[in-house]
Amino acid sequence: MGSLGEPSLTFKPLHPTFGAAVEGVDFSKPVPAEVLEEIKKGADRFGVLVFRGAHLNNETHIDFSKSLGDPNLYDVSAHIKAGRKMRFPEQPEIFDVSNVDDKGNIVTDADPARKEGNKGNFLWHADMVYNPRRALYSLLRAVELPPKGSGGETQYLDSRTAYDELPQDLKDEIEPLITNNSLMHNRKLGSPEFFKHIEPLDQPMARYKLVAPHEGSGRKNLYMTTYAHHLDGKTWEESKILFDRLWDHLIQEKYILTIYWDNNGDMVMWDNTAVLHRATSTGSYGEKYVRDMRRTTTKDNSAYSWGENDPNDPWEAGISQKRP
């Protein structure tokens, strides 16, 4: 709200049911509390907010993200121990989702684990569903984009509206179900050959209700992602029958919004508890052009933040992960 209580931001819808471009935020200085409230309300309603020309740097990106919630921290030491060079070891809030290494070289087959692991991001997901405390907002900013027309769009899926439009008998069937979620399951789906020796069941899984209430809007969300390995009480094979049926429903064109990254400095913020997203295939830029994208993520603070997991037994999926 402005000083007289009127809204100070403009939300321009990008799709009939979700997504909006936000105008009126001045990112050149700390965003005032009343503007933050408008942004959060906008995120509750639209799920995906696009801020063109935000021009944040790592510091202001982290500050803005922290003003929206507790940051998720990247496990820098585990990655360094595993031999990976980090571009921002002093800023664990920054998730480096670029295709460049610490020397600015484009990631190629020389780092197959990273290249193959990234393929999981081309599958529909919400960030951090594989951890016992789920994520709320992700904020992805474009630092250096490949030439226009060479691919790299980000797609979003309105999983709340998709839930609303399920047939009632299917809604009733899935209401009590709980998914078991694994980062490595998604990685295997993305690159089956490369990760064929990894068994997701050897690692802990995060459990969440398949139908999750969305506090900010009072709606329900179909919290179905490619991290979902199996349902409580069912095997992977048995679960897959229902999962495939839900995917057939979810991936209808009418639920999908494609965001084109226009210019360096653009930022997109989304609510992981209300929408799904995916990276699109690298198109022609692949190993040819730098695509420097950086993300921060906030932890969920809602009543459903820990899902069906024990808040007293926190762990995080990752390369140092061991089964408890």
Nearer to Fe ion, 242 or 268 (CB): 268
Stretch that binds Fe ion, among 72-80, 121-129, 154-162, 265-273 (CB under 5 A): 121-129
Nearer to Fe ion, 38 or 127 (CB): 127
Among 93, 96, 127, 271, interactor with Fe ion by CB under 5 A: 127
Residue with tokens 């048995």: 238
Closest contact distance (angstroms) between CB of 190 and Fe ion is: 12
The one-letter code for the residue type at 216 is: G
Return the number of the residue (11 or 119) whose C-beta is nearest Fe ion: 119
**Angle, CA of 231, 119 and 320, to the nearest 5°:** 70
Tell me if 292 contacts Fe ion by CB under 5 A: no
Nearer to Fe ion, 38 or 226 (CB): 226
The site map against Fe ion for 181-200 (x = CB under 5 A) is: --------------------
Residue nearest to Fe ion (CB): 127
Count of residues engaged in binding Fe ion, rule: CB under 5 A: 1
Q: How far apart are CA 91 and CA 98, in angstroms?
A: 15
> For Fe ion, which is the closer residue by CB, 100 or 123?
123
Alpha helices, H only, 13-111: 33-46, 58-66, 76-81
Rounded-to-integer distance, Cα 152 and Cα 284, Å: 9
The minimum distance between CB 97 and Fe ion, in angstroms, equals: 8
- CB atoms < 10 A from the CB of 172, how many? 10
Q: Collapsing DSSP states into helix, strand and coil, what is residue 180?
A: strand
CA nearest neighbour of 250 among 125, 129, 115: 125
Residue 95 C-beta: closest distance to Fe ion, Å: 9
Q: Which residues have a Cβ under 8 Å from the Cβ of 33 and sit 6 or more positions away?
A: none
Using CB under 5 A, list all residues that contact Fe ion. 127
